[in-house]
Amino acid sequence: MIIFPVGEDGIMNTKMRRNLMSFVTALMLMALVAVFGMPLQAKAETKVHTAHTGSDTDGSKHEGWTPIGTAEDLYNLAKTGGKGYLTKNIAIEMMHISGNKEVNLCLNGYSLEGGLDCKINTIELREGAELNLYDESKNTGEITNNNEDCILIHLVEDSEVTMNGGTVGNSNGWGVEIYDGSFTLNDGNVSGNSGLSSCGVRIISGNFTMNGGNISNNTTFGGVYVDGGTFTMNGGAITDNTAAFDGGGVYVDGGTFTMNGGAITDNDATDNGGGVCVRGGTFTINAGSIGNNAANNGGGVCVSGGTFTINAGSIENNTAEYCGGGVYVSGDGICKIYSGSIGNNTAYQGGGVCVDDGTFTISGGEVAENKSNYGGGVNVLTGNIIMNEGASKIILRRGMLAEYMLMMELL
């Protein structure tokens, strides 16, 4: 039994309470030592890969890593898990990682190329497998495949890929396809994927998080194809991609695209949405920029289905040959602007925004310095424009608000 002292009046004073708290704390620490054998400490972070410039030829930058010089070495690494670095260019049939294995691979400035028998996936991950990809600082190493319609990295069954360097590209097919799993791009490039059916990153089901790096020079379906799942862009650049139809930078046909930073620039679409095209699902921009993109309609963004919400960020210096230099709203599309700017865009109709069916709701933000033959600010051909409280902040210069409004609602 433990007896706690009290004052003459039976009440503990301040000093006594402090002593009691110290005593109780000491007892708790003693109990932790008894249970765990030592006091709890913060877990120290372990640096997995050491940054280096140029190929590591003597292994000094990869202490504890396994040198990979043959396809068989690579297959063994995939089978057992662990850390390995390439010592030469390697041709493979397919690298298959499964069974919750974790593989850390440094390209080390060399290439991993799918051979003649690698007609589907160069690297495939299943059953919760994990791949962490690294390279030397200039990202000269690459994963590539010249076979038509191939997929360089394919994720299924809740697998994960984190890309910290290197290049996934210069192929005749798809860069990364997420069928079920998650892909995180921190650094490196997904670029140069060009063929009859090609794209930088395709999300069917799962998650793609872009914190940095570049997605560039991909064709047919452009930079990123969101067919479902979730795409979150926090940084990096999606640039110089070309779509044969819609969505040069990003094509959203379902799922969710959230832009919290980064830039979508210098992309081109033959039809709609040079920067981004939304056919279904949702696109929300909270920060970042969409600029210098081009298309027939919707130089910056086309929304013809689903919802596009502008909370911040900029849509500037985009060009449309016909409608909507900044934003083109058509079909069942809905566009809402609360803040941010749509400026210095150019089109034949609706330099800033063109509403050709669909609904455009203005609650704030700025539409300024856009140019067009008809409606430099906002041009409504058919459809709805709703102006809520706060819309007075909108600056509509160099062009009338609209040539025709089917419905205007002032709240």
pTM for the whole structure? 0.85
Q: What are phi and psi of 113, to 5 degrees?
A: -120, 130
Q: Could you tell me which residues are beta bridge partners of residue 95?
A: 123
In this structure, what token pair is assigned to residue 325? 């230099």
Ranges 46-50, 244-248, 282-286, 326-330: which has the least confidence = 46-50
Which residues, 6+ apart, have CB-to-CB distance to 127 below 8 Å?
98, 99, 100, 157, 158, 159
Q: What is the pLDDT of residues 127-174, one digit of tens each?
A: 999 999 999 999 999 999 988 889 999 999 999 999 999 999 999 889
Q: Determine the Cα–Cα distance for residues 197 and 174; give it in Å rounded to an integer.
A: 7
Measured between alpha carbons, how far is 241 from 223 in angstroms, rounded to an integer? 6
Q: Which of 178-182, 312-316, 391-395 has the lowest mean pLDDT?
A: 391-395
Contact 87, 60 (CB under 8 A): no
User: Across the chain, what does the average pLDDT equal?
Assistant: 86
Across the range 168-191, mean pLDDT stands at 96
Tokens, residue 95: 């690298």
Distance, in Å, from the CA atom of 129 to the CA atom of 158, rounded to the nearest integer, reads: 8
Q: What average pLDDT does range 46-51 have in this prediction? A: 75
Instruction: Give the residue carrying structure tokens 């309470």.
Output: 17
Give the residue-averaged pLDDT of 74-99. Answer: 95
The region of weakest confidence among 43-47, 84-88, 274-278 is: 43-47
Strands (E), 37-158: 66-68, 82-86, 90-92, 95-97, 102-106, 111-114, 121-125, 130-134, 142-145, 151-155
Domain assignments of the chain as residue spans, ordered by start:
1-38, 244-411
Structure tokens at 99: 């069974």
Q: What is the pLDDT of residues 247-274, one digit of tens each?
A: 999 999 999 999 999 999 999 999 999 9
Q: How confident is residue 398, by pLDDT bands cut at 50, 70 and 90?
A: very low
- Mark residue 126 as left, alpha or beta (left: phi above 0; alpha: psi -120 to 50; beta: remaining): beta
Q: For 156-262, where are the E strands, in sequence order?
A: 159-163, 167-169, 174-178, 181-185, 189-191, 199-203, 207-210, 214-216, 224-226, 230-233, 237-239, 242-243, 250-259
Pick from 282, 368, 297: which is nearest to 328 by CA? 297
**Contact assessment for residue 199 and residue 217, using Cβ atoms and an 8 Å cutoff:** no
216 pLDDT more than 80: yes
Distance CA 1, CA 12 (A): 19
Q: Percent of the chain having pLDDT more than 90?
A: 74
Q: What pLDDT, on a 0 to 100 scale, did the predictor assign at position 197?
A: 86
Q: What's the confidence (pLDDT) of residue 47? A: 57
- Kindly state the percentage of the chain with pLDDT values over 70: 82
Using one digit for the tens of pLDDT, what is the confidence trace for 308-359?
999 999 999 999 999 999 999 999 999 999 999 999 999 999 999 999 999 9
The residue with greater pLDDT, 306 or 14, is: 306
